[in-house]
Structure 1
């Protein structure tokens, strides 16, 4: 897979997000703010890994959840790529010089009122972090092969106010990846084609 990962990423269209999630009543006709996350990929001897964060437990939105670094677009941001890189640098201290943007995935709306654009980027293997503990409690790497393996992905049906939708869950190393982060990872299944 390693020799094909980046070419598939650049040349193939990702699968779409869960149609039941996109049909959630709070996501239809919503007034969304723009946001971007970095989907950071780093090459290791064993293959490619994703760099993920665990959000700080005191945050009002999504406390302690596993996520990609990112956040809302600020007025001075030049582009969504700039937003993702800036937020990554602010949250976990990866210097922009270590980040090489590769592809933009489909935008996904969130029930917290954002339209999030994932920016896939290759991270220099010698990167270092400087965590802002006001936003993030930790970072970790997880092998892409594990995360996109259908055997490691679970779907759970949620019933909420006459609406049914599926949530994707990906367990990894005593952590549970779910929500928008899991949707983005699941949409990356196309890179193994």
Structure 2
């Protein structure tokens, strides 16, 4: 899938299926992630990060660059770009924002805005070791192909919730990151 193919599918007016998120009792703390689509001309990849192993919450989990929306941020777009700059040194001028997916609420109390942007791949990631262990790319076609998605159902009391997994080489993309990628998949391939 290249940029033109992606844009043709991304910018549509169809109502698409969304995976269930966590039903928070309140609005949730605003957060934003960047879905960085590395544009190599004939192919798009997604740049993901592995969270630092010493972190208290979600150590070693695969994620998008992102985090809480701070007071300094004017929008979720600003927050996503700021977090990408802080975590992996991605210059904002290398990113062309093309849209945002519907918010995704998490069990940890966040309401995440998944910001989608094309990235000029001419930068070398500079990892902040306080937040990120490593960064790697996955072909967009792989994460959008629902044949590559695994679903586990977790039960807590009378409630059951799906947990999504997308294996890639030695990495396991799961949880909110996999669910957001699955929502992107529904958006691109309804």
The TM-score, its normalising length taken from structure 2, stands at 0.92
Root mean square deviation of aligned Cα = 1.6
> Which stretch has the larger CA shift, 137-146 or 40-49?
40-49
Residue 7 in 1 paired to residue 8 in 2? yes
> Contact 1:12/1:191 (CA < 8 Å) preserved in 2?
no
Residue 47 in 1 paired to residue 43 in 2? yes
> Contact 1:70/1:83 (CA < 8 Å) preserved in 2?
yes
Residue 191 in 1 paired to residue 154 in 2? no
* Consecutive unaligned residues in structure 1, runs of 5 or more: none
Moved beyond 3 Å, runs of 4+ = 12-17
Pairwise mapping of residues 12-161 of structure 1 onto structure 2 (< 5 A)? 12=13, 15-19=16-20, 22=21, 24=22, 27-44=23-40, 47-161=43-157
- Whole-Å separation in 2 of the counterparts to 1:59 and 1:101: 29
- Whole-Å separation in 1 of the counterparts to 2:164 and 2:15: 16
The TM-score, its normalising length taken from structure 1, stands at 0.91
* Consecutive unaligned residues in structure 2, runs of 5 or more: none
> Contact 1:17/1:108 (CA < 8 Å) preserved in 2?
no
